[in-house]
Structure 1
Amino acid sequence: MNAEISVLWDKVQTMVRDFVTLLPNIVLGLIVFAIFFFVGRQIKQVVKRLTRNRRHARNLGMVLGRLAQGITVLIGLFISLSIVIPSLQVADLVQLLGISGVAIGFAFRDILQNFLAGILILLTEPFQIDDQIVFKGFEGTVENIQTRATTIRTYDGRRIVIPNSELFTNSVTVNTAFESRRLEYDVGIGYGDDIDWTKQLMLEALHSVDVVLQDPAPDVLVMELAESSVNIRVRWWINPPRRADDLDSRDKVISAIKKKLVENGIDLPFPTRQILFHDQTEDTDGDRSRQREGWPSGKGEVPKPRSIGGSLRQLAELQDGNGKLDSQVVDQEL
């Protein structure tokens, strides 16, 4: 028992001597680490001040500042460890960090991809906070650009969270990228109406709307000779180009055009369709003497065509006194 206690006591004394020997290195290492930690905080503040002129400086400054601070603190940690433990080389730490970085990269690939995409979005600014964008069927106002995802608020009050990697690698439509935006709408007029006179009326209606910009000036173009109408495209510019202004201008422009054309007797036709029901087979195809629209073939003599009024009149005659159809009479007629 005494021998075991003696061995234990020797080990404790050795540890104390080693600690006393390393104490100056530990103190120096802590001082160096504290210096790097303080420098990292100062770098973070400098980065925030440098990005203050951007619209979303809060997000960009916070991300880049934390990244610069983390790198500075990590370098200070390596230097401090090399001071405290002289046998530990910085190259060994860098090698260990590289191996760990590869493993972490595979494990958190999506997270790192979104993080890098978020930094690039904040730096390149393809869109900014409060911009109105369209992405894969989602449309709304950008609320926040974070390191992992970007959030947009839809026009009906919902929040959409989109990963930054998706936004950075796919097409995004920014509706508010410029000060003004052009809108358009197609109006159909009758084939018998005067096209030049109608275009002049549409331009007068456009100039009467206060939200329509005069520079660039609105224009009216004939676009299509459709089945039931001549389609004329009306184009105008608005400022600002936000969703609310878009809807407001459309309401005023379309209402003004409709009122102007109706007052001047311009026809606004609607589609007209004529439907013919054929009971036509290969045997009767092309033989008009054996087949008529809406009449089954193979029933003997082909009847003469009847009007809709005549058919309804005959149907009324087939009703009995109770207002019901006589099935035997109907069968004989058919």
Structure 2
Amino acid sequence: MDIQAAITAAWQKIGGQIDSFIIMLPNIILAVIVFFIFFFVARWLKLLVKRLTRRHRQARNLGMVLGRLAQGAVILLGLFVALSIVVPTFRAGDLVQLLGISGVAIGFAFRDILQNFLAGILILLTEPFKIEDQIVFKDFEGTVENIETRATTIRTYDGRRIVIPNSELFTNSVTVNTAFDARRIEYDVGIGYGDDVNEAKRLMLEAIYSVDDVLRDPTADVLVLELAQSSVNIRARWWIKPPRRIDDLNSRDKVISAIKQKLYVENGIDLPYPTRQILFHDQTEETDGDRTRQREGWPAGSNEVPKPRSISGSLKRIAQIQASKNGNGSDRNLAADDNR
């Protein structure tokens, strides 16, 4: 009897809930319809704000911010209205009170999301960079595709997409390569020590200005940078417009090719490879330990310092020593070679 009573009570309760749901079903359907109306109005309002600010580049990012904020506000209002239809006793103050009680927990749980959201709003308002700008952030470089309230996406030059949180962009250094209309490019060229530096600088300027992509204002220049181990390094600097990556690469290709043609091919100015000087030690058993008879980089000042041998003579000498050790040579020939 107790089990049957429990089953009957449970069935009555389920039936009452079903009846309540059927009674509330029109309100639920109406609430869903109202919410979708607010949702589509919010999207239309966002597009309207973006369209009104599209013609003004300075106000474009501000329009994006205002559009997204307006969309969020309208959707939130639609949610309140829908809840009021489903639950007539619901009040906005109840939700505010609930959020006030759990605000600390929500703040800790969504701290990163809120940081990225606020950073995205500040980036859109202050405009350190804009969509289609080319930026460098840490190890990433590419073109800005979109600036959202949570993250910014860039398209790398090799066709990859990088998603960077806005808080990272806002709190770290970002290089904007397209911030200005013109950009300066530089490249170092090494010439031989025996070449005329002034003549090389003049020829390099001629080569730079022979490229159509190089701007005449600001002017290009060439500066002696350093006296390196095997060359005199000269830095060539020129300006291009527009300052995008593809223009940088095309300009470098044309200018460097023109400099090489002008210096090396047409005027015979040396573009030396790195060189190294090797000093052979004329050290034998007779002169071992006697600094007055050894040539180790610098003569010791004695007239008896032996003359340096040629490489072929040194190799021949090594072969003869090896043959002598094997019993195939004569000490007389070795002594004759020592006197040469």
Q: Secondary structure at the match of 1:133?
A: strand
Identity of aligned residues (%): 74
Residue 141 of structure 1 is matched in structure 2 by: 143
Residue 310 of structure 1 is matched in structure 2 by: 313
Residue 115 of structure 1 is matched in structure 2 by: 117
Once the two structures are superposed, residues 230-255 of structure 1 have per-residue CA deviations (whole angstroms, 9 ceiling, x without a partner) of 22211111112111211111111111
Instruction: Decide which moves more: 37-46 or 152-161.
Output: 37-46
For 1:100 and 1:287, locate their aligned partners in 2 and report how far apart those are by CA, in whole Å. 90
Distance 1:93 1:311, change over 3 A: same
CA contact (8 A) 2:279 2:296 kept: yes
Residue 152 of structure 1 is matched in structure 2 by: 154
Structure-2-length-normalised TM-score: 0.69
CA contact (8 A) 1:48 1:57 kept: no
CA contact (8 A) 2:153 2:163 kept: yes
Unaligned runs of 5+ in 1: 21-25, 279-285, 295-302
CA contact (8 A) 1:60 1:119 kept: no
Instruction: Decide which moves more: 304-313 or 108-117.
Output: 304-313
Distance 1:211 1:88, change over 3 A: closer
Distance 1:91 1:327, change over 3 A: farther
CA positional deviation for 1:136: 0.7
Once the two structures are superposed, residues 63-89 of structure 1 have per-residue CA deviations (whole angstroms, 9 ceiling, x without a partner) of 643432332453566588789989876
| Structure 1 residues 191-206: aligned runs within 5 Å | 191-206=193-208
Aligned length: 312
Q: Secondary structure at the match of 1:161?
A: strand
| Structure 1 residues 169-180: aligned runs within 5 Å | 169-180=171-182
CA contact (8 A) 1:56 1:128 kept: no
Residue 238 of structure 1 is matched in structure 2 by: 240
CA positional deviation for 1:120: 2.4
CA positional deviation for 1:104: 2.1
CA positional deviation for 1:305: 7.8
For 1:163 and 1:272, locate their aligned partners in 2 and report how far apart those are by CA, in whole Å. 49
Residue 270 of structure 2 is matched in structure 1 by: 267
CA positional deviation for 1:107: 1.0
Distance 1:125 1:257, change over 3 A: same
- CA RMSD of superposed structures (Å): 4.8
Q: Which amino acid aligns with 1:204?
A: E
Residue 248 of structure 1 is matched in structure 2 by: 250
Q: Secondary structure at the match of 1:69?
A: helix
For 1:81 and 1:162, locate their aligned partners in 2 and report how far apart those are by CA, in whole Å. 36
| Structure 1 residues 90-105: aligned runs within 5 Å | 91-105=93-107
CA contact (8 A) 2:293 2:306 kept: no
Q: Which amino acid aligns with 1:242?
A: R
CA positional deviation for 1:317: 3.0
Q: Secondary structure at the match of 2:270?
A: coil
CA positional deviation for 1:273: 1.9
Structure-1-length-normalised TM-score: 0.70
Residue 218 of structure 1 is matched in structure 2 by: 220
